[in-house]
Amino acid sequence: MCFGTGPFSLTKRQLQYLQRRPTAVFLVAEQQGTVVGQGVALVRQHRTGASGRIYSLSTHPECRGQGIGEALLRNMVDSLSTRGVRRVYLEVDCDNTAAIHLYERSGFKQIGTLADYYGPGRAAVHMVFEAKVSARVA
C-alpha cells in the first residue's frame, strides 16, 4: 500500500523469501492485530567485514506521525548491530523529504545521489549510518 503497485512494491513472494533469509532482519509493526508498518534489512558480508542495508521501511499512510517508522528503523539498526554490522546503507527517493528527515534524525548522513535509481528522472539519496564503537575500559 505504501509503495503502490509499481516496480518498487514488494510482492508476497518476495516478502516470504526475505522473511526466510538468515541474513535478513524482518520486522512488522501491528496495532490491534492490523499490520501498520514493516521493515526489512539485510546483512552483507564483505572481505573486510559485514555491512547492513535497509532494504525496505514503510508505515501505513493513516498511521504516519506516530513514531512507528522511527521505532522500526531503530530496531533494524540495533538488530544489525548485534550481528556485527557497524555501517548501514540505504537509498531513498530524493522527493521523499519526510523519510530523509527521519533518517537524518536517526543519525544517517547523505553520502551521494544516485541518478535515475527509481527510474528515468527519479534520483535517490544514498545514505549511511555509522555505529559508534565504544571504547574499551582497561
**pTM of the prediction?**
0.85
Place of cell 520486522: 27
Task: Please state the φ and ψ torsions of residue 19, each to the nearest 5 degrees.
Answer: -65, -30
In one-letter notation, the amino acid at residue 98 is: A
* Domain edges within the chain: 12-130
pLDDT, tens digit, 9 for 90 and up, residues 51-106: 999 999 999 999 999 999 999 999 999 999 999 999 999 999 999 999 999 999 99
pLDDT at residue 3, as a whole number: 47
Q: How many residues are recorded in the chain?
A: 138
**Fold designation for 12-130:** Aminopeptidase (3.40.630)
Angle between helices 97-105 and 68-82 (to 10 degrees): 50
The DSSP bridge pattern shows strands 24-31 and 34-46 to be antiparallel
